[in-house]
């Protein structure tokens, strides 16, 4: 019983981080993309692709609000967040690091993603995702 309470508390912390981190940043990107681009010294990019990232992060923030109400039920949101950020680190960041070197805006994004990856890794009960439930 205590483990379940601890799990719910840890999940709620990650939902709050997602709401205020990803969610607020996503909405800031949607409301004022030029401010965010200037703030992080990002190079010019396709605004539609930029908008997709903003919408996804805003959606994570909104759905994480539901996770505060029922932390266990919405764990897949944190799992999805964990997996896509790992894919980005190993499939986008590292190959570009090897080919193009380091850019400041990319290091900032990497550090933010690593915060989420570590938090999700320490929070999510991975064995429960793979455990077969009795029918």
Q: Give pLDDT tens digits for 40-49.
A: 666 667 778 8
For the chain, the average pLDDT equals 88
| pTM for the predicted model, two decimal places | 0.85
Task: Please state, in angstroms and rounded to a whole number, the distance separating the CA atoms of residues 1 and 33.
Answer: 45
Q: Give me the mean pLDDT over the 5-26 stretch.
A: 93
**Are 75 and 18 contacting, i.e. CB atoms less than 8 angstroms apart?**
no
Domain boundaries, the chain: 2-130
pLDDT at residue 1, as a whole number: 46
pLDDT at residue 17, as a whole number: 96
**Are 36 and 28 contacting, i.e. CB atoms less than 8 angstroms apart?**
yes
Q: Give pLDDT tens digits for 50-107.
A: 889 899 999 999 999 999 999 999 999 999 999 999 999 999 999 989 998 887 778 8
pLDDT at residue 82, as a whole number: 96
pLDDT tier, 21 (very low <50, low <70, confident <90, very high otherwise):
very high
pLDDT tier, 9 (very low <50, low <70, confident <90, very high otherwise):
very high
pLDDT at residue 34, as a whole number: 81
- Among left, alpha and beta (phi > 0; psi -120 to 50; other), residue 128 is alpha
- Residue in the structure block whose two tokens are 């915060």: 115
């Amino acid at each position: 019983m205590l483990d379940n309470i601890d799990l719910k508390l840890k999940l709620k912390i990650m939902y709050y981080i997602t709401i205020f981190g990803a969610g607020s940043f996503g909405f800031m990107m949607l409301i004022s993309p030029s401010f965010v681009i200037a703030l992080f010294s990002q190079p010019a990019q396709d605004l539609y692709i930029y908008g997709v990232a903003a919408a996804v992060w805003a959606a994570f923030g909104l759905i994480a609000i539901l996770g505060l109400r029922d932390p266990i039920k919405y764990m897949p949101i944190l799992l999805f967040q964990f997996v896509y950020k790992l894919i980005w680190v190993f499939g986008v960041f590292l190959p570009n690091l090897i080919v193009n070197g380091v850019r400041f805006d990319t290091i900032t994004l990497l550090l933010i993603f690593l915060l989420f990856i570590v938090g999700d890794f320490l929070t999510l009960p991975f064995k429960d995702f793979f455990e077969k439930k009795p029918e």
